[in-house]
Amino acid sequence: MHNLAIKYYNMGLYSEKQLALFVAKGFVSQEEFKELTGLDYKKVVQAD
């Protein structure tokens, strides 16, 4: 699931908020999220 989520994000199929769901479930780390998006995970989650 991890690689699939990242692949789909890179393809533009998932938004930052959608990718954040994979962080919440433990499939993607907060560090990976920041590397991929350039955004802080906690700020994205708080924006909801």
Per-residue pLDDT reduced to its tens digit, 5-21: 999 999 999 999 999 99
Return the exposure string of 3-35: e unless at least 16 CB atoms fall within 10 Å of the residue's CB, then b: eebbeebeeeebebeebbebbeeebbeeebbee
Q: Please tell me the predicted confidence (pLDDT) of residue 47.
A: 82
Let me know: does 5 contact 14? Beta carbons within 8 Å: yes
Tokens for 16, please give them.
């930052």
Q: How far is CA 47 from the centre of its chain?
A: 14
> Rounded to 5 degrees, what are φ and ψ at 38?
80, 5
- The whole-model pTM stands at 0.87
Q: Is the pLDDT of residue 31 over 80?
A: yes
